[in-house]
Amino acid sequence: MIIDYRSDTVTGPTREMRRVMGEAPLGDDVFGEDPAINELEGFAAEMFGMEAAVFCPSGTMTNQIAIKVHTQPGEEVICDQDSHIYQYEGGGIAFNSGCSVRLLQGNHGRITASQVLQAINNPDDIHKPVSRMVGLENTSNRGGGSCYDMEEIRRIRDVCDLHGLSLHLDGARLFNALVATGQRAEEYGRLFHTISICLSKGLGAPVGSLLLGDQGFIRRSRRIRKVFGGGMRQAGMLAAAGKYALEHHINRLGQDHEHARLISEALSRKPFISHILPVETNIIIAEVRPPMTPSDFVQHMHEKKVLLFSVSPTRFRMVLHLDITPEMVAHTIKLIEEI
């Protein structure tokens, strides 16, 4: 038995999910004729109290479309230095949108309204790029699954409104934040101009992300999706899996959070661990004390058929998800205790 903590993207569709995929009504989505996709887009938009949504093959694409539609070349995007849109999307902000990035040093991936305010360029200074968009990430991946405080988001939105900036949320793991904090999807729908959510992470669908926004924004996004090569045809099977995940796999995320807490407690008792980022959701990022290195730990666990990644020369990451059972967690804790 292999226990895979490398990412919450490794989940496979459940039996029931495969059944609804097989029975999904299909059509050509580039013509707007795939019933399952239309249903998913409407369902998700309604969940967030937003006007519209567009289904895309990945969260990278939904983020990159949002940035493309919010900005013009030469403008600037403000985000945390650990943001996925900066760290893990292949330089897409520059490649796709021709924008520069203002990186902020946040707290475990979270930035504040006063940091944003200070990073906004004077629009009358012709030397500076025009600040156009703020990107937040919730939960923050490199921040160890940290969650935003609603009040801070409200203050950031106020700053954006005052200075004419768009506010985009990379909500790849937003449902983990909702479950962990008790916040509501509609609050997010009110505070952000656009939201990206992933169905392929902890929710357990095989493929897919959604970009949510107002009617006009999503109409422009469909054009950019086509330009980026993301116009899919009979992709309703994927959409059906996504809708099933939204209906059945949100509440159970709390179990992943509990599993993460149990494993991190076991790790915290080991002398070779020097520090663990606060475990708020389903991600554990731990710092290893020299002479042990993250690769030593990864290698050791690999030999025991437990998979994980190191994420820097000093840190490794473990991610909990749908396919990790309580028995697997107990086995992992036993292996850690034996080291």
Task: Give the range of 116-124, 176-184, 185-193, 198-206 binding ligand PLP by CB under 6 A.
Answer: 198-206
Kindly tell me which of 58 and 255 has the beta carbon lying closer to ligand PLP.
58
For residue 78, the cross-strand partners are 102, 134
Of residues 156-195, which lie at the interface with ligand PLP (CB under 6 A)? 170, 172
Q: How far is the CB of 199 from ligand PLP (least distance, A)?
A: 9
Report yes or no: 110 and 127 within 8 Å, Cβ to Cβ. Answer: no
Q: How far is the CB of 283 from ligand PLP (least distance, A)?
A: 9
Q: How far is the CB of 231 from ligand PLP (least distance, A)?
A: 17
Q: Which amino acid, one-letter code, is at 264? A: S
Q: How far apart are the first and last CA of the chain?
A: 20
Q: Using the rule CB under 6 A, which residue among 96, 97, 131, 141 binds ligand PLP?
A: 141
Kindly tell me which of 242 and 336 has the beta carbon lying closer to ligand PLP.
242
Q: Using the rule CB under 6 A, which residue among 209, 221, 264, 281 binds ligand PLP?
A: 209
Of residues 77-116, which lie at the interface with ligand PLP (CB under 6 A)? 84
Q: Counting contacts by CB under 6 A, is residue 59 touching ligand PLP?
A: yes
Task: Give the range of 12-20, 28-36, 58-66, 92-100 binding ligand PLP by CB under 6 A.
Answer: 58-66
Report yes or no: 248 and 217 within 8 Å, Cβ to Cβ. Answer: no
Task: Give the range of 57-65, 90-98, 256-264, 313-321 binding ligand PLP by CB under 6 A.
Answer: 57-65
Q: Counting contacts by CB under 6 A, is residue 198 touching ligand PLP?
A: yes
Return the residue nearest ligand PLP (CB atom): 59
For residue 178, the cross-strand partners are none
45 closest CA partner among 234, 226, 188: 188
> What's the CA gap between 148 and 150, in Å, rounded?
6
Q: Using the rule CB under 6 A, which residue among 11, 38, 60, 176 binds ligand PLP?
A: 60
Task: Give the range of 39-47, 55-63, 95-103, 319-327 binding ligand PLP by CB under 6 A.
Answer: 55-63
Q: Counting contacts by CB under 6 A, is residue 138 touching ligand PLP?
A: no
Kindly tell me which of 84 and 225 has the beta carbon lying closer to ligand PLP.
84
- Which pair of tokens denotes residue 65? 């479309």
> What's the CA gap between 49 and 149, in Å, rounded?
20
Task: Give the range of 74-82, 197-205, 276-284, 302-310 binding ligand PLP by CB under 6 A.
Answer: 197-205
- Catalog residues that contact ligand PLP under the rule CB under 6 A: 58-60, 63, 84, 137, 141, 170, 172, 198, 200-201, 209
